[in-house]
Structure 1
Amino acid sequence: MHFVLLRLSIKLLKMKNTALAFGFLAFVLMVSTFAYLIEPETFETWFNSLYFVLTTMSTVGYGDYSPSTFSGKVLTIFIYVFGIGLLSLVIGKIIDAVADFHRRREAGQLKFQGKNHIIVINWSKKAQYAIEEILSTDSNIEVVIIDEINKHPYDKPKVYFISGDPSSLDILEQADIKNARSAIIFADARIDEPSLVDGKSLLLASTIESLAPNVHTTVEIMMEKHIQNFKHVKVNDFVLSHDAVSRLAVRSALNEGSLDIFTQLLSSQRGADVYQTTVRPEWKTYEDAFLALIKQGATLISNKGDMTINTKLNEPIPTDAKLFVICDDEVSQKINNML
């Protein structure tokens, strides 16, 4: 008998989770039906017999229902012998599945399920600061990190991890690149030669462009002379590595106190920030937009990258204009709600 139970346990352990779940459900329904058919007076309804079987299998045993006939007691012994072990096996499988899910998530082996997320490629301190800035700007944005490391580098809510070569189509599809809002490619800090770093970034940018041309791509570039190469793959924005730090240091040296202004604009966690605003129908010229926005507490600064619009306030606003303002988050939300 012990050998038979051992063989049976081994076979059950090897069963697939789906088959085991259906087997468990069939067992419960079957013995519940038998219990009701054997002692209908004791259980009164089939649901009561189901309740009796489940309490018996879970070893709770409230005692409010108990079989009185020989056949009912034999069935109860059968539930003791096989049911308790089967339930323990199912619970063990559930625990294993949950543990496996967390293990695969930490190892970056799960496919991301979502839309309008931001993909951050190549992990580094700069990538961490970027993610913190993204989440501080909008806590509802989901971020997916892609890197060849084997463990989740920043296990926080809304932050997911895909382990693998980011230039691989399979890895990018695992991160659901086609439904992403944007992608940020950071320079790989593990490569010493700047030309090789930019070469890898160029490969990543071209792969993303071929797979998801509509995704807004921002790339950190080590050498300014390589910008022209990136323009050929239609990268949307470039960030020269160390360039911003050098320029901020110069601004601070030449204009005392100006550094705090740039710091506020670079971080949504401090003071005012730059926001895009929708062009309203009644705004015919830049002056119309400027005066309307200033009354709401926002300062119009540019159309796309053109920051000279204050010299052409009488000019009409182009149909494809993208206006940017400086204000705080509360004013930005107020303006957007009015549009």
Structure 2
Amino acid sequence: MNLEVFKHIYYRMPAPVRLLLSIFVLMFLFGLTIHLVEPDQFPSIFDGVWWAFITGATVGYGDYVPLTVAGRLIGILLLLTGGGMLTFYITTLAASTINHENELSEGKVSFNGKQHIVLIGWNERTRQLADMIDDKDTNQEVVLIDRSLNQLPYRHYPVHFIHGDPSEDAVLHQANIDTAKAVLISADVTIDERKADINTVLAAIAVRGNNQDVPINTEILTISQVENAIRAGADTVISSNDFMSTLFYHELFHKDQTKPFETVLTLLNKQQFNHIPLPDPLDESTFKEAILFFLENGELLIGFIRDGEWYINPNDDMTLNNNDTVIILAEW
């Protein structure tokens, strides 16, 4: 290896690694030198290296001590050079740790994990979602992509923050989108709804272009952009305005003593919806018989889907067939 190749490799190393390597080389040279100068006091090279590290760190156990003038001069040179390098290494390591934490908070550090969930857009909805994910499974990694945030304290939120435009490939590569488990694109409610939906569609196109298989869930604010989101590759389109309008209607016109919002919120927190093909034993059975079948497994049948039409809480005597998809409620 010639000098230029060595310099090329050495100066591309991270500063703490480069400094640590320099310390090992320097301590080895001092240990070798003191062994050659005073072989009786330092019987082996390792003894010399041990003395060099202990002296350079200003610990000074006194188990090995140079007795000759030449040996003591070597010790003085060691204190003037090696001691300073060790102190500088410790301060550099501490500074690197602080810088790394700052870069994490500023969204500059790439994510290297796998099977993570990518959240695009930081708002109160995604903040609560990140907390819910952390409560349900502390091992689930969450990566947040947002261009409006300049800083997100890494210790305060259970997410890995990436600062940038989610429609750019470079930003998605930072989030390691190739190995993501799922993606949620949240609408930016601080800007015009149509513009927010266009940004969502662009982000969906970019994600799908980088990962053909990852499930993409998008929040769309205007009905006219739902089809565009589907064309962009979204697997699920959440029309949040429709949902909230329906919920508002229930709140305005519900029956006495009924609490629609609390009911829906509690239901979604405690239970999950499952869509599964009708089990073979239930072919040609009635809806009532199917309810009893699922109750035995601790699940609640609430309806079924047939030829794209939804039947929620249908008549008990309706007959099910093996082409139906049943809708059940089950615990998380």
Q: TM-score, normalised by structure 2?
A: 0.80
- Measured in 1, the distance between the counterparts of 2:303 and 2:113 equals 33
Partner residue in 1 for 2:272: 274
- What's the CA shift for 1:125? 1.3
Aligned-pair Cα RMSD in Å: 3.1
Change (3 A) 1:197 1:114: same
Output one character per residue of 1:223-273: Cα deviation in whole Å (capped at 9) or x when no partner.
122212222223111122333233223334424144433112332xxxx21
The question of whether the paired residues in 1 share the 8 Å contact of 2:105 and 2:154 is answered with: no
- Measured in 2, the distance between the counterparts of 1:46 and 1:308 equals 83
1:327 partnered with 2:330: yes
Residue 109 of structure 1 aligns to which amino acid in structure 2?
A: K
Moved more, 194-203 or 38-47: 38-47
Change (3 A) 1:129 1:190: same
Residue 330 of structure 2 aligns to which amino acid in structure 1?
A: C
The question of whether the paired residues in 2 share the 8 Å contact of 1:121 and 1:146 is answered with: yes
Change (3 A) 1:186 1:277: closer
- Measured in 2, the distance between the counterparts of 1:107 and 1:72 equals 51
Change (3 A) 1:37 1:292: farther
1:294 partnered with 2:292: no
- Measured in 1, the distance between the counterparts of 2:205 and 2:19 equals 46
Change (3 A) 1:154 1:232: same
1:97 partnered with 2:103: no
Change (3 A) 1:277 1:227: closer
Partner residue in 2 for 1:202: 201
- What's the CA shift for 1:328? 3.2
1:261 partnered with 2:267: no
The question of whether the paired residues in 2 share the 8 Å contact of 1:56 and 1:79 is answered with: yes
- What's the CA shift for 1:308? 3.9
The question of whether the paired residues in 1 share the 8 Å contact of 2:274 and 2:330 is answered with: no
The question of whether the paired residues in 1 share the 8 Å contact of 2:277 and 2:322 is answered with: no
Partner residue in 2 for 1:285: 282
The aligned runs of 1:1-339 (5 Å cut-off) are: 17=15, 18-148=17-147, 149-152=149-152, 155-156=155-156, 158-191=158-191, 193-252=192-251, 253-255=253-255, 256-267=258-269, 272-274=270-272, 276=274, 284-285=281-282, 293-301=294-302, 308=311, 314-316=320-322, 325-329=328-332
SS in 1 for 2:40: helix
- Measured in 2, the distance between the counterparts of 1:289 and 1:214 equals 34
The question of whether the paired residues in 1 share the 8 Å contact of 2:106 and 2:150 is answered with: yes
Segments of 5+ residues of structure 1 without an aligned counterpart are 1-12, 330-339
Change (3 A) 1:307 1:125: same
- What's the CA shift for 1:158? 4.2
SS in 2 for 1:162: strand
The question of whether the paired residues in 2 share the 8 Å contact of 1:119 and 1:146 is answered with: yes
The question of whether the paired residues in 2 share the 8 Å contact of 1:285 and 1:313 is answered with: no
- Measured in 2, the distance between the counterparts of 1:313 and 1:176 equals 48
SS in 2 for 1:161: strand
Residue 316 of structure 1 aligns to which amino acid in structure 2?
A: N
SS in 2 for 1:123: coil
Output one character per residue of 1:119-173: Cα deviation in whole Å (capped at 9) or x when no partner.
1112111221221222223222111111112212674464101111111111011
Residue 190 of structure 1 aligns to which amino acid in structure 2?
A: T
- Measured in 2, the distance between the counterparts of 1:19 and 1:184 equals 41
- Percent identity over paired residues: 26
- Measured in 2, the distance between the counterparts of 1:309 and 1:247 equals 16
Residue 150 of structure 2 aligns to which amino acid in structure 1?
A: N
How many pairs are equivalent? Answer: 307
Change (3 A) 1:155 1:120: farther
Residue 179 of structure 1 aligns to which amino acid in structure 2?
A: T
- Measured in 1, the distance between the counterparts of 2:280 and 2:227 equals 37
The question of whether the paired residues in 2 share the 8 Å contact of 1:285 and 1:317 is answered with: no
The question of whether the paired residues in 2 share the 8 Å contact of 1:140 and 1:158 is answered with: no
Change (3 A) 1:154 1:69: closer
Partner residue in 1 for 2:7: none
SS in 1 for 2:162: strand
- Measured in 2, the distance between the counterparts of 1:154 and 1:266 equals 29
Q: TM-score, normalised by structure 1?
A: 0.79
- What's the CA shift for 1:186? 1.3
- Measured in 1, the distance between the counterparts of 2:276 and 2:58 equals 64
